[in-house]
Structure 1
Amino acid sequence: MKNVILYVRVSTDEQADKGFSLRDQEEKLKAYCKTNHLSVLKVYREDYSAKTFERPEMKKLIAYCKQHQELVDELLFVKWDRFSRNTSESYNTINLFTSLGIRPNAIEQPLDLSIPEQGLMLAVYLSVPEVENMRRSQNVIAGMRRALKEGRYVGSPPKGYFMGRDSSNRPVLTPNKDAKYIQKGFEMMLTNVYNQKDVYRALKAEGFETSSTAFYGILRNSLYCGWVHIKAYKDEPEDYIEGIHEPLITKSDFDKVQSILKGRRRQSSKPQLKVNSSFPLRGFVLCPKCDKVLTASTSKGRSKRYSYYHCSTSCGVRLKKEDVHAWFESYLKSISLDENAYQLLSELIEKEFKQLAKKRGIGPKHYEKKRNLETKLERIQELYIDGDLTKDEFKQAKNRIQKLIKELEEKEKQFANKASVEKVYKEGLKGLQDFDKHYLNSDIEHKRLMIGSIFPEKFTFQDEKVRTADINPALLKIMSVNKGLQRIKKKDKSKINDLSSLVGPPGLEPGTF
């Protein structure tokens, strides 16, 4: 009686249907052995792809055969595609078993390899599954690239997202609980005060779970600003497509972070700027003559030490530390809100949101329109199923109706979020109350963070005042409000509560304020 080893395999992407399931294959093989009076030494069960022979159970099988080659006569499997889907590796492995005196064979596709003509059939049995794999792989790649070109991300969701479903029940990236950490990470990088390691440590301390390497990749991933990357393939060049998923940051902020990262890479050979608590403005102030960034240092005089912000070039600009700090603190005072200014701006915001609520209010007509569109969508689906609409006609009508429904849902979402957005505006104003005092009482790290939040770019001093070409427009408004309040105080203190003269014309959008 001959001794045989049975090998059954199903890949992870194959359905466990009849003809593919491990149990079905094993039953067929054992029935064959019983009919042909063969003794089964071992059964190896594999749940792995047949693209290569780097499979756990196949490795064990080969090792067993090498150790007990005198005991094994045949290796049996149901079909040749269960043995392998790689033609070149198959011949090498068949030769290995043959050299051990073991004959591999498929019970449903039996071959006598001692007959030369049977080698042609073996080539067919082995090459057809390999071609099928290649065709399936190309179809998968084509489908994935088609989805990417439509702005639909495919693959495992990145950190900060999970794979949700859109209105058509198709997969779409949706922000999850980690999104807030990624948003904060980009915000901290935008200040140009912290490096990547500082930001990573801060987020990790707050509970963000990721590795430092993965976080550095996050900062460079365009997916977070809403753009999907398509790799080059054959004759198609690399491309970026605007995605359909919700971005965590704006494209402009993402580009600014990339510029900051590139600038730091170029300067990586230079020594890092050491933060000295005596010079919080170091690295932020430009030379009024040559536009180079001022450095700072302290020198020893005859009787005491003197500190300066000075230029490292030959232009010779030297500014006393005490003067620079006094000028800057005066500027902070001009953008800090006192109680009267806070009340005025709060009233402006509240007034604007009330006007927006009237314009964007959602009434019965809104919901009736939405129900009608949903009914139309169901109707065209029925027409398509009945054959009254072609595929293209159905697709065009469906896309148009879904777009209208989505616009109505966005309007509902904006209306629902009105109160929370208004609260965010008011909370932001609270942060500017006594801003100058907060600055003076903060440690060096928080001081530099506050400076970076005010000035997207560097600034300089002219005529003992802060000068910059780029400043947050909200701060400019606050400065004008403060000046207006000061004029009222000087003119007539009894009119301090009459704030109407400072209010701009109606129609100012809170988003631009």
Structure 2
Amino acid sequence: MKNVILYVRVSTDEQAGRGYSLRDQEQKLLNYCQNNNFNVLHIFREDYSAKTFKRPEFKKLLEYCKKNKKDIHQMIFIKWDRFSRNTAESYQMIGVFNELAIQVNAIEQPLDLTIPEQGLMLAVYLSMPEVENHRRSLNVISGMRRAFKEGRYVGYAPKGYDNGKDAIKKPLLIPNEDAKYIQEAFELMATGNYRRNEILYKLKAKGFNSSKTAFAKVLDNHLYYGGVFIKAYKEEKETIVEGIHEPIITKALFDKVQQVMYNRKRGNQKVPKAHNENFPLKGFLLCPVCNKQMRASTSKGRTQYYSYYHCVSPCKGRYTSDEVHDMVNAFLSDINFDKQFQELYFEIIKEKLTEETKQKALGAKHYENLNSIEDKLIKLQDLYIDGDMDKAGYESAKQRYENIRAELKSKEASSEDSKKLVELYKTATEKFVAIDYQYDNSDLEHKRRIIGSIFEKNIQFENKKVRTTSLNPILNEIASINRGLRAKKKKDLTKNLVKSLMVEQRGVVSNYFNSDLRLLQKK
């Protein structure tokens, strides 16, 4: 009676897609052994890919064979692809078993390897699974690249997203609860005032979970602004296409972060040091004399310590932290919204936006045109499939109709954007109510974020006042209107009064809607 060991193997995708199972293989092998009067010493069960022999259970099998080689006559399995899908490694492993005087064989593809001609069949049995593996790999690569080109990311979801499905059950990235941390990470890095690890520690304190290595990949991932990066492949160059998933940040914010990190790598921008609670404006102030960035430090007097923002030699400009902080607080009071004023101000904004939305409203004719284009595209496809149109003519006509459809769709998007602006302005203007109080009662991080969002460049000051040359134009107008309102009694505030003051300030009512909204979105 021969002593044998059995080896059964299945990979997860084979079991799900092809109906293989360990139990089925094992039963077939046991029946074979019973019919041939074989004694089964041990059964090794594997749930692992056969691309290599670095499989947990196969390693145990090999160790078992080395220890019990005198008692084992054969190792048997169902087919040769259960043994391996790598031709070169298969021959080497068969050599190992030959040295142990143990025969290896497949019951459904039996071979007598003492016969030279049987070696040809062995080569066929071993190479077929490898070719199949290679073909499957190429199909996977092709399918993934096709999905990427359509803007559909099919890999493992990065931080801030979950892998989900769309309406047609295809893969789609869906923002999760970490999305807010990702957005904050980009906003903090864009200020240029924080180190990457410093940002990570801040986010971890709020509940974000990530390693340093994983977080390092976050800030240069195109997926967060809606881009899908496609690697170079054969003759195709690497490219970035617009994704169909919901972005977490804007492309402008992503580009700004890349510039900050690039400047640091090239040495054009120093990595910021940890900030001091006593100097929330450090890194924001420019010297009014030499226009260089000011430093901050504390010196000891006879009886107490004194804090200063100061310039370096040869300018040596120096200002106490108290007087600089008072200047900034006075400025914030200028752009501060009174609640009643904010409500009237927003009503005017809402009227203007509503008027613009009505002007952009799409009529029935627009949707008739869009449906007509959709019908033409379907008929065009039918003509091409039926052979009534050649490929060149089909591609040309298809491109023309798709361009028209894209233009009609863009009008719909523009109309929807106008509606969303109403809520955007409401949320943004509400955040400027009591901005000076918010600043005074914020921690260091939020103070710096408030200042960084208000000033497009560094803060400049002279004659104990903050200069507004680097200020967002919208806030400049707000400060001017506020000064006009201070001369009026609160009970006299009306929509017409606020509107008249806005008109006086260089036509701000019309200019407002063409201004940069970045500040309001960031606040």
Query: How would you bin the TM-score normalised by the shorter chain?
Result: 0.7 to 0.9
Deviation at 1:224, TM superposition (A): 0.7
Q: Which residue of 2 aligns with 1:453?
A: 453
Measured after TM superposition, the shift of residue 91 of structure 1 is 1.6
Match of 1:2 in 2: 2
| Distance of 2:71 and 2:407 partners within structure 1 | 69
Question: What whole-Å deviation, never above 9, does each CA across 1:51-73 have from its counterpart, x for those lacking one?
Answer: 11112222222222222222221
- Residues 297 and 307 in structure 1, CA contact (< 8 A), matched pair in contact too: yes
For the residues of structure 2 that align with 1:373 and 1:460, how far apart are their CA atoms?
A: 56
For 2:26 and 2:307, the matched residues in 1 are separated by 86
Once residues 128 and 494 of structure 1 are traced to their aligned partners in structure 2, the CA distance between those partners, rounded to angstroms, is: 85
2:316, 2:493 → 1: CA distance? 50
C-alpha separation in 1, matches of 2:177 and 2:298: 47
- 3-state SS of paired residue (2:43): strand
In 2: Cα distance, 1:379 partner to 1:54 partner: 55
CA distance in 2, matches of 1:341, 1:73: 94
Q: What are the within-5 Å matches in structure 2 for residues 422-437 of structure 1?
A: 422-437=422-437
- Cα-to-partner distance string for 1:413-461 (whole Å, 9 max, x where unaligned): 975994x753442232222123223333444443323212212321222
Distance 1:298 1:203, change over 3 A: closer
- CA drift of 1:293 comes to 1.3
Contact 1:381 1:394 in 2 (8 A): no
List aligned pairs for 1:249-260, cutoff 5 A: 249-260=249-260
CA pair 394-30 structure 1, distance change in 2 beyond 3 A: farther
* Matching residue within 510, 513, 523 for 1:509: 513
Contact kept, 8 Å, 2:160 with 2:182, in 1: the verdict is: yes
Structure-1 residue corresponding to 2:67: 67
- In the alignment, does 2:11 pair up with 1:11? yes
Q: Decide whether aligned partners of structure 1 residues 422 and 159 sit closer, same or farther in structure 2, where only a CA change above 3 A counts.
A: same
Post-superposition offset of 1:378: 8.4
Rounded Cα–Cα distance in structure 1 between residues aligned with 2:39 and 2:397: 64
3-state SS of 1:241 partner: strand
Aligned to 1:328: 328
Q: What does 1:210-359 align with in structure 2 at a 5 Å threshold?
A: 210-234=210-234, 236-264=236-264, 273-299=273-299, 307-339=307-339, 341-359=341-359
2-structure distance, mates of 1:58, 1:394: 54
Contact conserved, 2:263 with 2:269, CA < 8 A, in 1? no
Gap change, CA 1:494 and 1:55, over 3 Å in 2 = closer
Partner of 1:78: 78
Residue 18 of structure 1 contacts residue 24 of structure 1 at CA under 8 Å; is this kept in 2? no
Contact 2:3 2:72 in 1 (8 A): yes
The answer on whether the counterparts of 1:352 and 1:510 sit within 8 Å (CA) in structure 2 is no
Instruction: Name which of structure 1's ranges 67-76 and 459-468 shifts more when overlaid on structure 2.
Output: 459-468
Query: Structure 2: how far apart are the matches of 1:457 and 1:346?
Result: 27
**Equivalent residues of 2:296, 2:307 under 8 A apart:** yes
Compute the displacement of 1:88 (Å).
Answer: 1.8
Deviations 1:159-193 (A, max 9, x none): 22233445665433232333222222222333344
Tell me the TM-score normalised to structure 2 length: 0.81
Matched residue SS, 2:497: coil
Q: Residues 9-37 of structure 1, C-alpha deviation per residue, up to 9 Å, x if partnerless?
A: 22222255778443443344334333333
- Equivalences, count: 509
Q: Deviations over 1:348-387 (max 9, x none)?
A: 2221332244345578778888888888888889989988
> Residue 457 of structure 2: SS of its match in structure 1?
coil
Superposition deviation, residue 467 in structure 1: 3.4
TM-score normalised according to structure 1 size: 0.82
Deviations 1:381-406 (A, max 9, x none): 99899888999969986996899599
1:448-489 residue CA offsets vs partner (Å, 9 max, x unmatched): 232122123212223443336543333123123224435x64
What amino acid sits opposite 1:509 in the alignment? F
Map of 1:151 onto structure 2:
151
Per-residue displacement from partner, 1:264-315 (whole Å, max 9, x unpaired)? 5567997963534443322211123443211123445678765432212322
Aligned residue for 1:126?
126
2: distance between equivalents of 1:380 and 1:174? 34
8 Å contact 1:373–1:405 — kept in the other structure? no
* Aligned-partner SS, 1:476: helix
Give the SS at the match of 1:162.
strand
> SS at 2:163's partner residue?
strand
Residues 411 and 511 (structure 1), Cα distance of their counterparts in 2 relative to 1, 3 Å cut:
farther
Distance in structure 2 (CA, Å) of the matches to 1:432 and 1:255: 27
CA distance in 2: counterparts of 1:127 and 1:459, whole angstroms:
70
Aligned residue number for residue 499 of structure 1 = 498
Q: What percent of counterpart residues are identical?
A: 50
Q: CA deviation at 1:234?
A: 4.5
**Contact 1:192–1:452 (CA under 8 A) maintained in structure 2:** no
The CA distance in 2 between the partners of 1:222 and 1:18, in whole Å, is 37
Aligned residue identity for 1:200:
L
CA 271–24 in structure 1, closer or farther in 2 if over 3 Å, else same: closer
**Structure-1 separation of matches of 2:463 and 2:159:** 49
Aligned residue number for residue 140 of structure 1? 140
Task: State whether residues 69 and 100 of structure 1, in contact with CA within 8 Å, keep that contact through their aligned partners in structure 2.
Answer: yes
